[in-house]
Amino acid sequence: MSVSGLPPYDPQNIFARILRGEIPCKRVHEDEFALAFHDINPLTPTHVLVIPKGEYVSAADFHANAGDAAIAGFWRAVGKVAKDLGLEGSGYRILSNMGPDGGQEVPHFHVHIFGGRRLGRMMPRE
């Protein structure tokens, strides 16, 4: 853990390797701030991941430590990707898992975009 309580960034995580081009991805969008690609194990007819270009472990790290331009650019990319995927009319869900309770598996901040069918309740009740 660093002094902030966040784990240090692991440059060998799978999304870092995708950003460096060491592992292929099915890319749907790339700009100066973000890369978007199809999830390898889709949970819905459309399931795309958007990741920032910078090295941020999680949502907490990104929102505390990224610059204003990086945050704005990233979230604009999320909106553009959802629109370009044709999801605005039918709707979609964006989600980011953070840390152990959030079930985050890959330690590079990412947002899931889910769509293509009725998604039901936000989360099952306990």
Answer for the pair 114, 41: CB distance below 8 angstroms, yes or no. no
Answer for the pair 109, 66: CB distance below 8 angstroms, yes or no. no
| Smaller CB separation from ligand AMP, 87 or 96 | 96
Task: Find how far residue 81's CA is from the centre of its chain.
Answer: 11
Answer for the pair 60, 99: CB distance below 8 angstroms, yes or no. yes
25 binds ligand AMP (CB under 6 A): yes
Q: Is 63 a catalytic residue?
A: no
Could you give the string, one character per residue 56-95, with x where binding to ligand AMP holds by CB under 6 A and - elsewhere? ----------------------------------------
| Smaller CB separation from ligand AMP, 89 or 103 | 103
**Polymer length in residues for the chain:** 126
User: How many other CB atoms are found less than 10 A from the CB of residue 88?
Assistant: 12
Which one of 103, 118, 121, 122 is in contact with ligand AMP (CB under 6 A)? Answer: 103
Residues found near ligand AMP in the complex (CB under 6 A): 14, 23, 25, 39-41, 49, 97, 103-106
